[in-house]
Amino acid sequence: MNNIKENVKRILEEVPENVIVIAATKGRSVEEIKEAIDAGIKVIGENYVQEAEGKFKEIGRTVNWHLIGNLQTNKVKKALNIFDCIETVDSFGLAKEIDKYAGKKGIIFPVFIEINSGREPQKSGVFPEDTEKFIIELSELKNIKIEGLMTMGPLVDNPEDIRHYFRLTKELFDKIKEKKLPNVKMEYLSMGMSDTYKVAIEEGANIIRIGSIIFGYRR
């Protein structure tokens, strides 16, 4: 049997203190999530607004909620009632919609920019070479705050093969941080999942998104 509490404790002891562990909870039950929270998880990562909605009703604000999947503009209003941060902003239209609803709520909402570090045409995210221009454009929106970057990187068999993409994203992060743009505070770098988080931390990630090594692999 998979021991969620032991898995969480082991991971939290292993990673540096400055690294936030997001429990990626797509397809996981409320009971499993509560077990992870009891063991010390403080941030939940969900992929879909609809799935998160049901879980949020039962779990509430005992933890922070990050959206780590794609967000459609028609789901923004609902998303802002659940999530504390959206990690996957990759278009001006989406950013503008978040800005609009954040303005209506009278808040400044934290977002990360998703980087398509492998330049994979089938995947979402901003290409590395377009990132700076994109962030300058977004920095004019008054009700969002860009707090970091997020990347998935290509699927790899060997974790070492993803190092280049994480390094590239960290270089972008540092470059944008130096520019000191308005409404931009490069504080978080979200990279790495269950099989690649060690490489991600070595390359500067301070947020990792962990699912299967907490909850077990899905059958």
Under DSSP, is residue 7 helix (H, G, I), strand (E, B) or coil? helix
pLDDT tens across 35-69, in order?
Answer: 999 999 999 999 999 999 999 999 999 999 999 99
pLDDT tens across 63-105, in order?
Answer: 999 999 999 999 999 999 999 999 999 999 999 999 999 999 9
The closest alpha carbon to 89, from 174, 199, 80, belongs to: 80
The structural domains of the chain, ordered by start, are: 4-215 (3.20.20.10)
Q: Looking at the predicted structure, is the pLDDT value of residue 122 above 50?
A: yes
Structure tokens at 5: 């509490």
Q: Where would I find the H helices in 39-91?
A: 49-59, 76-82
Per-residue model confidence (pLDDT) at position 198 = 97
- The C-alpha atoms of residue 207 and residue 117 are separated, in whole angstroms, by 17
Q: Where are the beta strands (DSSP E) in 20-174?
A: 20-24, 43-46, 64-67, 85-89, 109-115, 144-151
The set of residues, in sequence order, having a beta carbon less than 8 Å from that of 133 and lying 6+ positions away, is none
- The C-alpha atoms of residue 171 and residue 184 are separated, in whole angstroms, by 16
The pTM of this model reads 0.96
Q: Looking at the predicted structure, is the pLDDT value of residue 219 above 80?
A: no
Q: Looking at the predicted structure, is the pLDDT value of residue 1 above 50?
A: no
- 34-55 per-residue burial string, b: 16 or more CB within 10 A, e: under 16: bbbbebebebbbbbebeebeeb
